[in-house]
Chain A
């Protein structure tokens, strides 16, 4: 159950299945290492905090970051039509429209939207996890989802 949600979170953030597999494996390794630090409370909050940290650690790696940005750029450049789903070179991985439109949002808003959707945490928990005021998180989410809707319907 958690593996699917965490994988979805990683996949929507990266758009790369192999990378999402790696991040998911890394997440479970970290969970094993840090299980002693879990002091009860909302497990999802603890889990997705680690997942978010893993993704940001991944982004901090310069080479990986460059690779990720290049991948995103090439995805957008090669995209024949944003309203049409396309298939990857292997013909197996379908890059859906939602993935393309999500990549057009700024990284912080995208992270917030996906964290909210896949973790199913309350706004209070999300605000605490991101160390920002609840009003800020709410405002960013509203603007981001409104823009996503416009992109998807446009």
Chain B
């Protein structure tokens, strides 16, 4: 111990005893510690120290690997969470358009067991379907001779009448 430490020790001893007793106790402590200094303990075996250093190196390497693994896992987990959130909360640009279907034939017909009535209904609906098909074809071919009403012509006539009335007013 240095001189300062000795002085501090005397000061510490004086907290518990008077000054002469503290100085005597201090001398006893110093004398006892001199014996410890005079006969140092042997040093540890070099092989033990080498083994300890190896263990510490292995431990440090393992710790480094674990840290890297944890960082990689956290990054992967974060990526998964972000993608999940985008999928849940983001715009649904990739979702398919919603299609609504209207049945021409009422569901009651499919669920009915009355074959005779159902046949008549089917005949009726079949003829309606054929008529609609003919109208669609006529519109496509711009053909109004098949008894189909010329809707564009009607609109044109109405438009001309409106214009005439407007300028009259």
- CB pair B52–A3 under 8 Å, yes or no, is yes
- CB pair B52–A142 under 8 Å, yes or no, is no
B138 cross-chain contacts in A, Cβ below 8 A: none
On whether A142 and B29 interact (CB within 8 A), knowing A3-B49, A123-B12, the answer reads: yes
B56 cross-chain contacts in A, Cβ below 8 A: 28, 32
- CB pair A25–B32 under 8 Å, yes or no, is no
Q: List the count of A-B residue pairs having beta carbons below 8 Å apart.
A: 77
A88 to B41, CA, bound (A): 16
Nearest CB in chain A: distance from B43 CB, A:
6
Whether a CB of chain A sits under 8 angstroms from the CB of B108 is no
B45 cross-chain contacts in A, Cβ below 8 A: 17, 21
On whether A96 and B39 interact (CB within 8 A), knowing A135-B16, A149-B28, the answer reads: yes
- CB pair A32–B44 under 8 Å, yes or no, is no
B41 cross-chain contacts in A, Cβ below 8 A: 7-9, 11-12
- Interface size of A by Cβ–Cβ distance < 8 Å? 34
B43 cross-chain contacts in A, Cβ below 8 A: 4, 7
A sample of 26 cross-chain residue pairs with beta-carbon separation below 8 angstroms, ordered by A number, consists of: A3-B52, A9-B41, A20-B44, A24-B44, A24-B52, A25-B51, A25-B52, A96-B39, A98-B36, A113-B36, A117-B33, A117-B36, A123-B9, A123-B12, A134-B12, A135-B16, A138-B13, A142-B13, A142-B25, A145-B32, A146-B29, A146-B32, A149-B28, A149-B31, A149-B32, A152-B35
A148 cross-chain contacts in B, Cβ below 8 A: 32, 35
Whether a CB of chain B sits under 8 angstroms from the CB of A139 is yes
Whether a CB of chain A sits under 8 angstroms from the CB of B125 is no
**Chain A contact residues, majority secondary structure:** helix
On whether A8 and B32 interact (CB within 8 A), knowing A24-B52, A28-B55, A142-B25, the answer reads: no
- CB pair A97–B39 under 8 Å, yes or no, is yes
In A98-154, which residues have CB < 8 Å from any B CB?
Answer: 98, 113, 117, 123, 134-135, 138-139, 141-142, 144-146, 148-149, 152
A142 to B29, CA, bound (A): 6
- CB pair A21–B48 under 8 Å, yes or no, is yes
Given A135-B16, A149-B31; 8 other pairs, CB 8 A cutoff: A7-B43, A28-B52, A96-B39, A113-B32, A138-B16, A144-B32, A145-B33, A152-B35
B16 cross-chain contacts in A, Cβ below 8 A: 135, 138-139
Of the candidates A29, A97, A145, the one whose C-beta lies within 8 Å of that of B55 is: A29
B12 cross-chain contacts in A, Cβ below 8 A: 123, 134, 138
In B21-77, which residues have CB < 8 Å from any A CB?
Answer: 25, 28-29, 31-33, 35-36, 38-45, 48-49, 51-52, 55-56, 59
A152 to B12, CA, bound (A): 26
A7 cross-chain contacts in B, Cβ below 8 A: 41-44
- CB pair A141–B29 under 8 Å, yes or no, is yes
In the complex formed, the residue of A with least CB distance to B35 is A152
Nearest CB in chain B: distance from A18 CB, A:
9
In the complex formed, the residue of B with least CB distance to A6 is B44
In A19-54, which residues have CB < 8 Å from any B CB?
Answer: 20-21, 24-25, 28-29, 32
